[in-house]
């Protein structure tokens, strides 16, 4: 029998004194660390996010549950920690472990809201049909509908989206092949000649602006989730955003090595960065290249800031700003050479700490800043609370309402992040639980399935915010460690996840049919955005109908017989010149 949490009845909309239901604008930003003006970073150029902060509350110490995309997003969407979702990687759907869970947008949908998701909300490939009132929209030219009862059954409708982000992508043969077989077809950063809307995030913002107008006309309460991909690698942004920044003014890391007294297994080898074309081999990353990476990151943050501004302007233009809760969050932090590391994938402060800004009608604390540690699992109960919906039981977080009422409210509970690692010197398969209170960060690397602690880190975040030294072996801090260890989850909660099935995606019935009058150059760019030439498998992936017939077409198009179909060969239709 399903628990009460997983069989929610239709709940009454915003019952507080019969007030009009509040809308929700839920803005997700990939890989965004708090290098934003409202977080005190002077080099940042983020006037629109700063504007939102001036109308809401900035949570200065907000922490994700795990510093990698899918685990973090799964936790914020379900209100559950990774040990409950069993999502510790990019290969597992939370419904493998929690098949009947009611997600944050699903809860709003059950209460009469129209829920829509644009861009990256769940991790790509793990779209959740039960959460949304309509198919998921992607700037690349896909509408994806997952079966509400079986997320693995997906159908896709194509539309004319934006091509790939690189201005001149390499062919797959010229690109850099990763160990997993995937190929990167461009560099880690690019000063783009494209306009905002010729890149995916600008196209997403344009669609969101259109949707806000349509939702206003429709008149129903809405939960609109808008997911931006930048500043995720590669750092591609229009030139005008690069020009906003003087590379010499962008701060570098306070420490470029792992903390003193820390074992190397807690870090990584920058594999994600090294997968891009042109990145120098080995570590550390050369200074000049590192400066360009930081410049690119800041340019991308400014690019996203402009898109956020478009959303806020749309709310104002449509008269929705005063009745819409806006939450902006980064799915985790990012290390820009700090500790010698690039990207996330650790339990350090800069990897787990991310922006969280909440603007809600009815509070007198606009422009306030909250210094107490909070967690992303707190977002689900907060939004339900602010919109007058029942807060489901068994969520792992709690409403942030006390901080919205008074940002100076002291810490209610510490924040807990975690990351799996393997170390033969410290117990084999480990789960690192990182406990963050108002001063300390203690990370306990516990042998999975047991109570045995294999390794400990302790950082004084008040007196050593750059985490330069691990203090775990200092006898004077034994009581601190003992206290924080009391917040560890029960032994056995970190058991391996059930194997997640792979989704199957088909052409949605009723999708637009083949148009014989469509120009071939337009058709190529629609079907194969950003690809200079195609292998037979790549060609077949964009072709419907009889695969044998498609193979014959490929052979005909491959006029020079080199095993590839170029864009020009496709446009020429296999005809002799």
The set of catalytic residues is 69, 123
CA 439 to chain centroid? 27
Tell me how far apart the alpha carbons of residues 70 and 111 are, in angstroms, rounded to a whole number.
Answer: 26
Contact by Cβ (8 Å): 358, 325: yes
Closest CA to 128 of 161, 98, 89, 86: 98
Contact by Cβ (8 Å): 356, 56: no
DSSP state at residue 69: H
Tell me how far apart the alpha carbons of residues 257 and 263 are, in angstroms, rounded to a whole number.
Answer: 11
Whole-number Cα distances in Å, 162 to 157, 198, 337, 357: 15, 6, 32, 29
Contact by Cβ (8 Å): 507, 298: no
Tell me how far apart the alpha carbons of residues 400 and 404 are, in angstroms, rounded to a whole number.
Answer: 7
DSSP letters along 499-528, please? PPPPPEEEEPTTPPPP-TTS-HHHHHHHHS
Tell me how far apart the alpha carbons of residues 157 and 139 are, in angstroms, rounded to a whole number.
Answer: 12
Q: Could you count the other beta carbons within 10 Å of the beta carbon of residue 71?
A: 28
Whole-number Cα distances in Å, 525 to 170, 173, 519, 532: 15, 19, 10, 10
Closest CA to 201 of 151, 276, 140: 140
Whole-number Cα distances in Å, 543 to 137, 172, 474, 522, 573: 21, 19, 64, 15, 15
DSSP state at residue 531: -
Q: Which position has the token pair 């509070």?
A: 363
Name the β-bridge partners of 147.
150
Q: Could you count the other beta carbons within 10 Å of the beta carbon of residue 437?
A: 19
Tell me how far apart the alpha carbons of residues 371 and 407 are, in angstroms, rounded to a whole number.
Answer: 8
Please state whether the peptide bond connecting residue 284 to the residue before it is cis, i.e. omega within 30 degrees of 0: yes
Within the chain, what is the greatest distance between any pair of CA atoms?
A: 82
Tell me how far apart the alpha carbons of residues 139 and 539 are, in angstroms, rounded to a whole number.
Answer: 21
Contact by Cβ (8 Å): 31, 330: yes
Q: Where are the beta strands (DSSP E) in 141-281?
A: 142-147, 150-158, 176-177, 183-184, 189-192, 222-228, 235-238
Whole-number Cα distances in Å, 99 to 41, 180, 411: 42, 28, 33
Contact by Cβ (8 Å): 448, 494: yes
Give the three-class secondary structure for 246: coil
Whole-number Cα distances in Å, 53 to 227, 356, 387: 19, 10, 20
């Amino acid at each position: 029998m399903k628990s009460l949490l997983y069989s929610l009845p239709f709940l009454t909309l915003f019952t507080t004194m019969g007030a009009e239901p509040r809308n929700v604008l839920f803005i997700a930003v990939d890989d965004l660390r708090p290098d934003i003006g409202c977080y005190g970073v002077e080099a940042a150029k983020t006037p629109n996010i700063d504007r939102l902060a001036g109308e809401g509350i900035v949570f200065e110490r907000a922490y994700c549950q795990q510093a990698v995309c899918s685990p973090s997003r799964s936790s914020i969407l379900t209100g559950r920690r990774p040990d409950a979702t069993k999502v510790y990687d990019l290969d597992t759907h939370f419904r493998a472990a929690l098949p009947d869970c009611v997600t944050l947008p699903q809860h709003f949908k059950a209460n009469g809201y129209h829920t829509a998701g644009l861009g990256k909300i769940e991790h790509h490939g793990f779209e959740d049909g039960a959460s949304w009132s309509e198919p998921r929209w992607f700037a690349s030219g896909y509408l994806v509908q997952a079966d509400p009862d079986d997320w693995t059954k997906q159908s896709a409708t194509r539309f004319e989206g934006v091509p790939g982000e690189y201005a001149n992508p390499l062919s797959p043969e010229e690109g850099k092949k990763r160990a997993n077989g995937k190929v990167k077809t461009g560099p880690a950063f690019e000063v783009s000649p494209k306009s905002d809307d010729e890149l995916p995030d600008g196209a997403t913002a344009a669609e969101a602006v259109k949707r806000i107008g349509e939702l206003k006309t429709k008149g129903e309460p809405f939960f609109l989730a808008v997911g931006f991909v930048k500043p995720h690698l590669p750092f591609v942004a229009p030139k005008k955003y690069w020009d906003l920044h003087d590379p010499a003014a962008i701060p570098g890391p306070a420490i470029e090595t792992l903390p003193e007294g820390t074992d190397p297994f807690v870090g990584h080898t920058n594999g994600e960065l090294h997968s891009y074309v042109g990145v120098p081999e080995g570590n550390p990353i050369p200074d000049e290249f590192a400066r360009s990476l930081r410049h690119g990151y800041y340019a991308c943050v400014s690019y996203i800031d402009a898109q956020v501004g478009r959303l806020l302007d749309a709310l104002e233009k449509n008269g929705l700003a005063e009745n819409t809760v806006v939450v902006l969050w980064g799915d985790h932090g990012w290390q820009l050479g700090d500790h010698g590391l690039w990207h996330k994938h650790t339990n350090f402060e800069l990897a787990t700490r991310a922006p969280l800004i909440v603007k809600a009608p009815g509070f007198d604390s606009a422009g306030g800043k909250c210094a107490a540690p909070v967690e992303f699992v707190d977002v689900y109960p907060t939004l339900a609370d602010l919109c007058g919906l029942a807060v489901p039981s068994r969520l792992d977080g709690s409403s942030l309402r006390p901080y919205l009422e008074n940002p100076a409210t002291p810490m209610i509970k510490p924040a807990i992040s975690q990351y799996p690692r393997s170390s033969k010197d410290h117990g084999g398969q480990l789960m690192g639980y990182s406990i963050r209170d108002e001063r300390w960060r203690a990370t306990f690397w516990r042998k999975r399935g047991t109570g045995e602690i294999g390794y400990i880190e302790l950082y004084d975040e008040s007196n050593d915010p750059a985490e330069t030294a691990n203090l775990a072996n200092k006898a004077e801090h034994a009581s601190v460690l003992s206290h924080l260890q009391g917040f560890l989850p029960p032994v056995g909660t970190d058991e391996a996840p059930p194997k997640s099935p792979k989704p199957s995606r088909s052409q949605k019935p009723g999708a637009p049919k083949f148009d014989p009058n469509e120009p071939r150059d337009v058709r190529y760019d629609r079907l194969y955005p950003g690809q200079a030439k195609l292998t037979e498998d790549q060609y077949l992936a964009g072709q419907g109908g009889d695969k044998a017939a498609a193979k014959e077409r490929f052979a005909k198009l491959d006029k020079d017989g080199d095993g590839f179909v170029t864009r020009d060969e496709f446009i020429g239709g296999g005809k002799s010149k």
